Chains A and B, each alone.
Chain A
Amino acid sequence: MSTVSYSLRLFYPKLPQILPKTPVSKSPFLPSEPLLLFSSSISFQRLPKSPLSEPVRAQQQQQQQREADVDLSIFPSKLQEIIALFQSVSEPKAKYQQLLHYGAQLPPLDLRFKTDDHRVRGCVSQVWVRAFRDPDDPTAVRFEADSDSALTKGLAALLVFGLSGSPAPIIAAVPPGFVRLLGLQQSLTPSRNNGFLNMLKLMQQKALQLYSQVGHSEINGVSDSMGSNLGAQGGILEDKNSILGGETNETGKNSTFREISSANGSGDSLPYGVLKVDGDGMDNANVVQKSLGGGVGGRSKRIRERLERELSPVELEVEDISYQHAGHAGVRGNNDGETHFNVRVVSKEFEGKSLVKRHRLVYDLLQEELQSGLHALSIVAKTPSESQSS
């Protein structure tokens, strides 16, 4: 008994080191925990609420998060700096000022990028994000963003400054929970946090679209889906910095894929170099699809062909977003992806038709796919005049 209590007493002096600013002296809560074994009555005192208590608790939680398994070394170095800066600021008001300061440094986004495709969903304010290849460094992704809300713009700036210049897999590997490390969670409303996370996800998605599939297939866990995904990615780029496609040399492609699948998301420049293309990558992307053949699924190719044939679209984008749904019930057992697609069609065929009719038209055209494993379609169907005015 005495040895146990001796060892328990050893615990006590350690506590202040872990939680330096907690008014431990006022609270028997923590030290009395070990005493549960010995006493039957325990009293708990509520920690006094003071304006200082808020940032103190924030710091505690931050440290606990850090002790939890977040490996900061995988973050881009600029992001690590930003995290450190926010953690060094304990007052919530100062955090906001810092946030606004970042936002003020963000250059405004060109109006032509303030479109639905760049909008972040789940934000109470309007936020747009744009990703493009760094002209000086083919492996790196750069971002631009804007918002009509100053605090959101600050959050966007954090991400833009923290993630720009990194390769897509590194960007994609940043876990959404990192926002807790900033200690802003305590200071920002949940809906704003959702916007933050959605911003991050959109940026990650766009980075991956630009550079493809290494990170993509690693998320899927299967490298075979790459072919169809390549084709799919070729369809959705509106940036004229599209870089998919490339050599039509089949053996060259195959060897590249072998390299890609073994690259393991290390961020090597080689895969990206191969995928670089001069000029318009769209036609090349189609050629790439054909050379890969149906052996790797090719659903996105089939969708494109069907819609092109029946609707003669002015614009057509087919995007495989199965990776976003990997793991949920409808997808399980269909591990080679190709289960969820975004489709954007602009065609004269939609004129005079209600929204319901347009969607039905697209669904009818893709019946075969729907019956052979296509799980969900997200459709945007516009007429040429509508797409110009939007």
Chain B
Amino acid sequence: AVSSPWPVIILLNCSLHTFRFIGAGKPPMFGDYEAQRHWQEITYNLPVHEWYFNTTDNNLNYWGLDYPPLTAYHSLLCGHVASLINPDWVELHTSQGFESSAHKLFMRATVLIADLLMYVPAVVLYCFYLSEGSNRKKVCLVLCILLYPGLILIDYGHFQYNSISLGLALWGVLGLGLGWDMLGSLAFVLAVNYKQMELYHSLPFFCYLLGKCFKQGMAGRGLFLLVKIAVTVLVTFTLCWLPFLTDPGQVLQVLHRLFPVGRGLFEDKVANTWCSLNVLIKIKTILSTDTQLYLSLAATLLAALPSSIKLLTKPTLWQFKLALVNSSLAFFLFSFQVHEKSILLPALPVCLLLGDLPLPAVWFLQASTFSMLPLFLKDGLFVPYAVTSSAFVFYSVYLLSALEHSSEEELQLKSLSLLPFLSQSPGQFYLSVAAMAGLSFMSVALAPPARLPDLFPLLVSVFSFLHFLGLLLYFNVVQIAEPPSPRRKNPKKTE
């Protein structure tokens, strides 16, 4: 057996970062890459109160800042480092559209460092302290989670810093799992303050902690815990927003940038309900913007309600992980103005389930990567996409013996015979992956017919949507129908 895992971990890290670094191809000279560079320029040169406002120096139409303050502080830090290496990179106005191979290296390096500092340690600690199995299984789990193509391609290829927000959320999960509630809440609040999309995960965090307080009795320890957590959350929020709290106008403007409610139910092709429904009924034109807003709000809450209530009544780590999946997936499918990149939010908790429910998890993760195919094609990332997806499917099936764990008992469906199709899971999984491969190849090799120029992105998003819907139902069933018997495949960690 592997006696000490640390040499292996370091090796895995090196190899995977090599994968990520060279795998992502050339970063695009437009889009999020330029946005990030621009934010470094803005935060480095302008005073805080101008960051979110439209001024002569800061044109909000040109990649205006639309993430919470922590992103701005991070950009400021990167901006300082950039100016030390080469001030031209962050020169106000003149550095717009700046391109050079040294700059590309620098930007890639910032993503790598963020990854190494924030995301990777969280994954390693999660696998070693909060999952079951032999040392070797844990190492395999680390490998498979870090191999998830979606995060690699978006962060290193499309160019974003999701590893920070997802990493912080994972630290939050770690904190709660190990019983350090306040540190966990702190980490999660930081995550929300880095990217507002983390609010997709907020319902489970809230229900878990509230449920825990209830369990400990609202008269004594429970109330005390609740107060401690509330104070932590408030203090963290205050500290993050401190420079903006001097003026309520500032706060309102930032919120306005973070939640652009004027933009409509969905943009472009995304694998959620509204876009897929739009194929049959043109909801975008039938309903007014306000109705759309209320409809999506109602649908989201309704979809997320069952799992949240279950978590409230039974706050255990296992329930928490499932609730994270269910809630964020419900938000993805029904929420307002969802982007295809938001699939990374449900993908993170599903990664955490790789050790427990390998087959559905691998299936979901592969579908999530596939759903972003149109985005990758736009960025010229087809080869990295094909290679990393194939590597991910092959290695997760090989190392986690995903297909073996697919009998009904393992899939937690013993008490339910109403889902008979899942008994043929391995075959269906292969079929589904083959279909995804086929569609991917067709998207890049064939030209769409003239009458339907969006045929392939539409097929991709509808195909993914069906998978997501099915897996949402499955994970909900697993969470809610959890048998009360103590003899379970994955004993949950008691608080």
Partners in one complex: no
Q: Which residues of B line the A interface, CB within 8 A?
A: none
Q: Which residues of A line the B interface, CB within 8 A?
A: none
